Chains A and B, each alone.
Chain A
């Protein structure tokens, strides 16, 4: 059953319960009454039977006593002895009328004399008397009944002694209504004498019941078999009688039965009043209980309903209405808790609202607020056909600033940047912090051209260093612009496209970039590339290239850097800068690194067999360094290829170490302990301090090619290279110069004491097969170099690709 309310539930459950209990209670009462009545009736019947037997017995005794008087009469006995029939008969008559008997019979002991007084012939009397005499016992008087001429009699036989038995006297009383009435009066039972004479039907001669009832009983006996003498309940015209059968006489021909009956129905009806009272009490109790339950359920359910109403208000955001209750019980407590909850929720919502739309570091609106504002502006501008511009900017290398200078400084920088942007903008332009180091500016009603101007102005502003806690920090930024409506109709699209433009700017390092639909295609390509790259390793689409590394002092080339090329089945040759950054982002780089290690080992062994002992350097990424099982993997690969640890060296960029310096250091320590040589790649582009590098188990520094390539033209770069070489040597590190493209650079570096060199001047990256041929060429070249200290260098205009 489903209830609509708690009140209903309480009322229905409790009323059902009470009603159930009452009903269940009535059943045993009904049963007890029934049982009680039956046992009472049975008991009454037993008592009644005794009363009846007693009455008949005392009747018997009275007759006997009367008969004895006559039997002892001298004159009567004299008359008997003298066979004086007349006198005998008159004495009998006299006696019969005196004791109001219906029958008086005398029979002499020799069967010679018989005298009958009453409505009976001698022939009829004889057998009865004979029977009674044979049944006679002086010590115990059994009740004797006979049916004579269809009339039932109670009979008594008394011997006449003089002083031996000289004859018998038999006295009979008709069983009549008077007897039945007397029995009824004394015992309270209904009595019916029913008889069956020879083949005549059962007949009720005497009964306290009505004639209709008697007929029912007669029918009952008529239908029943001979086995009627059992106590049972008898239904007489709807009235149920507990019935006792008293067989008074039973011989072959005649039967006389007394039915003693007590009405169960009448007895039960006496309890009707009790039952009625109980019913009244039940109804009354139920009524009182109903009132009480309704009151209680109201008392409980109403405040709950009110609380529910209050809660609904809270659901709709209405926290104003206070919830009060003057009750002291649980419901009062609940109300108080509700109220406290309402206040707490209101306070928290306030805070959440603030947090949701406000950035605490910079005091600017956050991304959510920015989007909300953008949405609102777009809606209003769309109708008015106005344009607007979203400008997003992202600080370069903010991560490093945070790591090196600490988070507080980072936050301060972010705050300074915010201030600077705000200062450059108009008052009604919305400036927000979109992410960690990303800012968004909503330039309302500005066209693309004007927006570009604003961006340029901002870019210029960034050229001045920021003053953070009395430290000057140079920060550059990338800028992305998307204009409504041409670059996006919705806030989402607009912001997304501005950020795409920003990404492009960051990739190209090209300052301000305006969104162009082409940018998105690249992104799509990236997705396909991810799938392709996954299968590239298994499909043997990756190829290992070697770029020789030359000892600048001995001019010998027995080291090389391993570089990867991708032979895409459809797109053809793909350079690493098109997929390596992507692989690093997606984690595919780990598979590539392992493949590289495998391949490097294989190539090493192959060349070793050719008699070329080549140490191959393999680049590893941040993700490799973070993976704790990386050293085990390397060891496994080496063992499989039977390669010694000095055959392969590792190169790692400065910035990838800085991503997670602690773990990177731990991994590097383990790799170094295994005997692997480790080089820092692209040295000079990151923020790593030499002090930190000193702690690392590093043997080589590779100076970034940007310094080497500009060395000839830029005096600063030359100074950087020179001091780096010196510093490295002071720290016992070998120095490798990348990007040597001409003999001048070679010479200069050699003079500076640089240990190794790498670049197009000596050799481009090449497949393994070409390496031997190159080696031969190089040896002749190097001899030639030795011959002419200055040489006309080859022009290497090809962009070096790694």
Chain B
């Protein structure tokens, strides 16, 4: 059922997918619009491309997911594998952040302020964050093996910039996907100028935060 809804070759042949590539700098930007099966624009969808050129690019960026008002912020994050994430507690109460996700199991036992050591996320996958004290606190971290990623804004559009021309695999993940956490993917060729890509995802509305 779900696979039937995502028909990438068909989309392509219909000309629904377009890429915009910058020819002058040999690097291009690509815009991806993500909608659910009913055509509604989706925010917090993680969009990234993978290819030969992306494999061994190191990640050294630091990342921060704060706890404020008994909520994780941001609730959905995308980071390149190898990123260290700090979990500063900006509430007055203490939190006990944990993850039982196979991509990264950890726990930061009851703390306030900024924990001493950031947590390294070195394995691609999805990590679900919780707080052992506050059951309602929930956050997702999608860890990818590529530096070319973005997250759709409230308008459902994400832009990946400075992407070298070439052939890639475009992957789109959303925490409320019907399929068991598997991102949707399709092959794209990046040129100097690229048409915006429209991706439709099969979303389980019940899972939406």
Contact = CB atoms under 8 A, between A and B. Distances in A.
Given A162-B128, A164-B128, A80 B100 contact: yes
A164 B138 contact: yes
Interface string A63-80: 000000000101001101
Contacts of B105: 81-82
A81 B100 contact: yes
Nearest to A166: B100
A473 to B, nearest CB: 153
A75 to B, nearest CB: 11
B147 to A, nearest CB: 28
Contacts of B98: 74, 162
B136 interface: yes
B135 interface: yes
Interface string A162-185: 111010000000000000000000
A457 interface: no
Nearest to A163: B130
A563 to B, nearest CB: 150
B75 to A, nearest CB: 11
Interface in B99-117: 100-101, 105
Contact of B138 (A72, A77, A81, A163): A163
B100 A77 contact: yes
B131 interface: yes
Interface in B70-112: 98, 100-101, 105
Contacts of A161: 130, 135
Interface string A733-748: 0000000000000000
Of the listed residues A110, A162, A163, the one surrounded by the most CB atoms of chain B closer than 10 A to its CB is A163
A361 B120 CA distance: 168
Contacts of B131: 163
A168 to B, nearest CB: 16
Contacts of A77: 100
Of the listed residues B98, B100, B135, the one surrounded by the most CB atoms of chain A closer than 10 A to its CB is B100
B160 interface: no
A491 B139 CA distance: 153
Nearest to A110: B180
Contacts of B101: 81
A166 B105 CA distance: 14
A591 B137 CA distance: 147
A268 B125 CA distance: 73
B100 A72 contact: no
Given A162-B130, A163-B130, A164-B128, A78 B100 contact: yes
Interface residues of B, number: 14
Contacts of A166: 100
A169 to B, nearest CB: 15
Interface string A91-115: 0000000000000000000100000
A110 B98 CA distance: 20
B138 A74 contact: no
A72 B135 CA distance: 9
A74 B105 CA distance: 13
Interface in B128-173: 128-132, 135-138
Nearest to B134: A163
Nearest to B128: A164
Contacts of B137: 163
Contacts of A81: 100-101, 105
A164 B126 CA distance: 13
Contacts of B135: 72, 161, 163
A161 B128 CA distance: 11
Contacts of B138: 163-164
Interface string A181-218: 00000000000000000000000000000000000000
Contacts of B180: 110
Contacts of B136: 163
A774 to B, nearest CB: 160
Contacts of A80: 100
Nearest to A161: B135
Contacts of A110: 180
Of the listed residues B101, B129, B130, B136, the one surrounded by the most CB atoms of chain A closer than 10 A to its CB is B130
Nearest to B100: A81
A267 B16 CA distance: 79
A164 B101 CA distance: 11
A633 B181 CA distance: 146
A74 B132 CA distance: 7
Contacts of A163: 128-131, 135-138
A163 B137 CA distance: 7
A82 B135 CA distance: 20
A282 to B, nearest CB: 73
Interface string A313-328: 0000000000000000
A165 to B, nearest CB: 10
A70 to B, nearest CB: 14
Contacts of A164: 128, 130, 138
A110 B101 CA distance: 13
A162 B129 CA distance: 8
A163 B130 CA distance: 5
A158 B116 CA distance: 37
A334 B195 CA distance: 132
A78 B98 CA distance: 10
Of the listed residues A78, A161, A164, A166, the one surrounded by the most CB atoms of chain B closer than 10 A to its CB is A164
A161 B132 CA distance: 10
A78 to B, nearest CB: 7
B132 to A, nearest CB: 5
Contacts of B130: 161-164
Nearest to B96: A74
Of the listed residues A74, A78, A162, the one surrounded by the most CB atoms of chain B closer than 10 A to its CB is A162
A163 B129 CA distance: 7
Nearest to A165: B207
A72 B131 CA distance: 11
Interface in A127-186: 161-164, 166
Contacts of A82: 100, 105
A166 B138 CA distance: 13
A77 B131 CA distance: 13
B173 to A, nearest CB: 15
Interface in B163-207: 180
A-B pairs with the 8 shortest C-beta distances? A81-B100, A163-B130, A163-B138, A162-B100, A74-B132, A164-B128, A162-B130, A163-B135
Given A80-B100, A163-B137, 20 more contacts: A72-B135, A74-B132, A77-B100, A78-B100, A81-B100, A81-B105, A82-B100, A82-B105, A110-B180, A161-B130, A161-B135, A162-B98, A162-B100, A162-B128, A162-B130, A163-B129, A163-B131, A163-B135, A163-B138, A164-B128
30 contacts: A72-B135, A74-B98, A74-B132, A77-B100, A78-B100, A80-B100, A81-B100, A81-B101, A81-B105, A82-B100, A82-B105, A110-B180, A161-B130, A161-B135, A162-B98, A162-B100, A162-B128, A162-B130, A163-B128, A163-B129, A163-B130, A163-B131, A163-B135, A163-B136, A163-B137, A163-B138, A164-B128, A164-B130, A164-B138, A166-B100
Interface of A: 72, 74, 77-78, 80-82, 110, 161-164, 166
Interface of B: 98, 100-101, 105, 128-132, 135-138, 180
